[in-house]
Amino acid sequence: MNTKTVSRWRNLGIIAHIDAGKTTLTERLLWKTGAIHRMGEVHDGATTTDFSPIERERGITIGAAAVQTQWHDHRLTLIDTPGHIDFAIEVERSLRVLDGAVAVFSAVEGVQPQSETVWRQARRHDVPLVAFVNKMDRLGASFDGVVEQMRAKLDANPWPLGLPIGAEAELRGWVDLVDRSVVEWADDGEATRRPWTTDEAARYAPARERLVEAVADHDDALAVAYLDGLDVDAATLKAALRRATLRGAGVPVLAGSAFKNKGIEILLDAIVDFLPSPLDRPAVKAESERGDVELAPDDAGPLAALVFKIVHQEHGPLSFVRVYSGSLKVGDTVWTSKREKSVRVGRLVVVQADRGTDVERAVAGEIVAVAGWKDAVSGETLSEPSSKLVLDTIRAQPAVLSWR
Ligand code: GDP
Confidence at residue 84, expressed as pLDDT on a 0 to 100 scale: 56
Q: Render 246-298 in DSSP notation, one character per residue.
A: HTTS-EEEEE-BTTTTBSHHHHHHHHHHHSPPGGGSPPEEEEETTEEEEE-S-
Confidence at residue 87, expressed as pLDDT on a 0 to 100 scale: 58
Q: Render 45-111 in DSSP notation, one character per residue.
A: S-S--SS-HHHHHH-HHHH-SEEEEEETTEEEEEEP---SGGGHHHHHHHHHH-SEEEEEEETTTBS
Q: Which residues contact 48 (CB under 8 A, 6 or more apart)?
A: 354
What percent of the chain shows pLDDT beyond 90? Answer: 68
| pTM for the model | 0.91
Q: Complex ipTM, two decimals?
A: 0.99
* Residue type at 66 in one-letter notation: A
Q: Whose CA is nearest to atom 10 of ligand 1?
A: 19
Q: Which residues contact 393 (CB under 8 A, 6 or more apart)?
A: 93, 96, 97, 284, 306
Task: Identify the residues whose C-beta falls under 6 Å from ligand 1.
Answer: 16, 18-24, 83, 134-135, 137-138, 257-260
- Nearest CA to 263 out of 161, 195, 352, 179 is that of 161
Tell me the sheet residues that pair with 309. 320
How many angstroms is it from 58 CA to the middle of ligand 1?
Answer: 14
Best mutation site among 15, 19, 174 for ligand 1, i.e. most ligand atoms within 8 A of its Cβ?
Answer: 19
How many angstroms is it from 59 CA to the middle of ligand 1?
Answer: 13
Q: What is the pLDDT of residues 295-317, one digit of tens each?
A: 999 999 999 999 998 988 777 89
Does 393 score more than 80 pLDDT?
Answer: no
Confidence at residue 397, expressed as pLDDT on a 0 to 100 scale: 34
Best mutation site among 86, 259, 267 for ligand 1, i.e. most ligand atoms within 8 A of its Cβ?
Answer: 259
Confidence at residue 47, expressed as pLDDT on a 0 to 100 scale: 33
How many angstroms is it from 27 CA to the middle of ligand 1?
Answer: 11
Question: Mean pLDDT over residues 2-29, rounded?
Answer: 91
Average pLDDT of the residues of the chain: 87
Q: Whose CA is nearest to atom 11 of ligand 1?
A: 19
Q: Closest ligand 1 atom to the C-alpha of 18?
A: 2
How many angstroms is it from 135 CA to the middle of ligand 1?
Answer: 7
Question: Mean pLDDT over residues 193-214, rounded?
Answer: 97
Q: What is the pLDDT of residues 47-104, one digit of tens each?
A: 333 334 334 434 433 456 889 999 999 999 999 876 555 556 667 777 889 999 999 9
Residue with the larger pLDDT of the pair 202 and 17: 202
Contacts 24+ apart (CB under 8 A), 211-217: 211/159, 211/160, 211/161, 211/177, 211/178, 211/237, 212/237, 214/157, 214/159, 214/250, 215/159, 215/240, 215/241, 215/244, 215/250, 216/240
Bridge-based pairing of strands 251-255 and 158-160 is: parallel
Does 35 score more than 70 pLDDT?
Answer: yes
Q: Whose CA is nearest to atom 16 of ligand 1?
A: 259
* Residue type at 320 in one-letter notation: F
**Pick from 31-40, 140-149, 333-342, 367-376: least confident:** 31-40
Best mutation site among 18, 22, 23, 24 for ligand 1, i.e. most ligand atoms within 8 A of its Cβ?
Answer: 24
Query: Phi and psi dihedrals of 74, rounded to 5?
Result: -115, 145
Q: What is the rounded (10 degree) CA torsion for 278, 279, 282, 284?
A: 60
How many angstroms is it from 141 CA to the middle of ligand 1?
Answer: 14
Does 164 score more than 60 pLDDT?
Answer: yes
